Amino acid sequence: MKPKIEDVAKVAGVSPTTVSRVLNNRGYIGDKTREKVHKAMEELNYYPNEVARSLFIKKTFLIGLIFPTTSNPFYGQLIFHLENIAASLGYKVLLCNSQGREDKERGYLKMLQRNQVDGIIAGAHNKGIKEYEDPNLPVVGIDRYLSKKIPVVSSDNYQGGEKATQLLINKGCKTIIHINGPISLETPANKRRKAYEEVMKNNQLTPLTYEYDSNDSVFSRLFNENPEVDGIFASDDLIASRVMQEARRRGIDIPTQLKVIGYDGTETTRLLLPELSTVEQPIRDIAVIALEILLKQINNEEDFQSETIIPVRLIESDTTRK
């Protein structure tokens, strides 16, 4: 059986209350007593039961993370930072991979509440989950509007879209196509597309957007329908990579015949595909701010922004070089 406070007290020859006092640094404790207690804890291999503690103090120091999947480089890196920063602040992290499925996200939301998490950070992609409407606990959304009451943190998607599109134009591209993942209007990521469209129009160019909804045929369709394409702005690096592969298959040289720019700039894509120009999201900063806002909510501080937008950085590489 696991030792409890009582056992520690017995071994140390003190009362349970004293042990608790040592554990929580409350009231007066003598140096020798403190030492005796610590020695006893070590001897018994005692670990205070956080479950019991949480029950009483009504706080678990747990944060739920709901994201589509850790397998994706962007979310993997974001989750890494979130966990890291949370840990440094004394919080633990319950991981939930919603896989873009609404039913899973709902299930996780319930689970997290039953487990009394102190707050939730969500970057999943389902819309219309009513549970978010009146969150009875602190929530922060990342790159996603969950409800009016829930603060959002995202990078400056509009600025990113502008920078990417403008770069292609500056490099002399005339037929620039945008390709993005499944569209949900509630996503700040759509601002990338809006920026693309506006920049195109401002330059007397016609915007043309394709949507990749896990139907691989878009890539070949895109080239078939636009043989004159000379610039592609993909809404993430993985899609950009697919585009590059299709171009290679068709013998189209990058960057001389076609210029490509992606989005995200994660460590992994930068390592595996350093030649790809991209718009780097400040992933760590997003994590820092999301947690900052979440903790303010948890601590009932009111002074947090309902929407935070962080600037992005253009990383120019071979795929857009002349």
Partner DNA sequence: TTTCACATGTCAACCGGTTGACATAAATTA
Partner DNA sequence: TAATTTATGTCAACCGGTTGACATGTGAAA
Residues that bind DNA (CB under 7 A): 1-2, 4-6, 13-18, 20-21, 23-24, 26-34, 48-49, 52-53, 55-58
- Compute the distance between CA of residue 104 and CA of residue 109 in angstroms, rounded to an integer: 9
Q: Does 70 bind its own copies (CB under 8 A)?
A: yes
- Compute the distance between CA of residue 221 and CA of residue 224 in angstroms, rounded to an integer: 5
Contacting residues for 231 by C-beta, under 8 A, at least 6 apart: 168, 169, 171, 173, 174, 175, 176, 177, 258, 259, 260
Q: Does 182 bind its own copies (CB under 8 A)?
A: no
Q: Does 89 bind its own copies (CB under 8 A)?
A: no
CB closer to its own copies out of 94 and 169:
94
- Compute the distance between CA of residue 310 and CA of residue 289 in angstroms, rounded to an integer: 9
Q: Which residues of 209-238 are buried (b: 16+ CB within 10 A; e: fewer)?
A: ebebeeeeebbeebbeeeeebbbbbbbbbb
Q: Does 238 bind its own copies (CB under 8 A)?
A: yes
Segment near its own copies (CB under 8 A), from 11-19, 122-130, 200-208, 236-244? 236-244
Determine the residue type at 124.
A
Chain centroid, CA 14 distance in Å: 48
- Among residues 17, 24, 49, 224, the one that binds its own copies under rule CB under 8 A: 49
**Which listed option, its own copies, DNA, none, makes contact with residue 80 (CB within 5 to 8 Å by class)?**
its own copies
**Which listed option, DNA, its own copies, none, makes contact with residue 57 (CB within 5 to 8 Å by class)?**
DNA
CB closer to its own copies out of 61 and 304:
61
SS3 readout for 29-47: CCHHHHHHHHHHHHHHCCC
Binding to its own copies (CB under 8 A): which residues in 114-153? 114-116, 136
**Which listed option, its own copies, DNA, none, makes contact with residue 206 (CB within 5 to 8 Å by class)?**
none
Peptide linkage before 255 cis (omega within 30 of 0): yes
Q: Does 85 bind its own copies (CB under 8 A)?
A: no
Structure tokens given for 214: 């896990």
The least distance separating DNA from the CB of residue 4, rounded to whole angstroms, comes to: 3
| Cα–Cα nearest to 138, from 293, 306, 303 | 293
Q: Does 77 bind its own copies (CB under 8 A)?
A: yes
CB closer to DNA out of 34 and 81:
34
Q: Does 38 bind its own copies (CB under 8 A)?
A: no
3-state secondary structure at position 122: strand
**Which listed option, its own copies, DNA, none, makes contact with residue 96 (CB within 5 to 8 Å by class)?**
its own copies
Q: Does 95 bind its own copies (CB under 8 A)?
A: yes
CB closer to DNA out of 138 and 188:
138
**Which listed option, DNA, its own copies, none, makes contact with residue 170 (CB within 5 to 8 Å by class)?**
none
SS3 content of the chain, % helix, strand, coil (to 5): 45, 15, 40
- Among residues 35, 103, 225, 267, the one that binds its own copies under rule CB under 8 A: 267
The least distance separating DNA from the CB of residue 40, rounded to whole angstroms, comes to: 12
Q: Are the CB atoms for 297 and 153 separated by under 8 Å?
A: no
Cα angle 58, 61, 66 (rounded to 5 degrees) comes to: 115
CA distances from 118 to 64, 247, 300 (A): 8, 48, 12
CB closer to its own copies out of 50 and 316:
50
Query: To 10 degrees, what angle do helices 5-12 and 16-24 make?
Result: 100
Residues at the contact surface with its own copies, assessed by CB under 8 A: 2, 45, 47-52, 54-55, 60, 65, 69-73, 76-77, 79-80, 83-84, 87, 92-97, 99, 110-111, 113-116, 136, 237-238, 241-242, 245, 266-269, 271-274
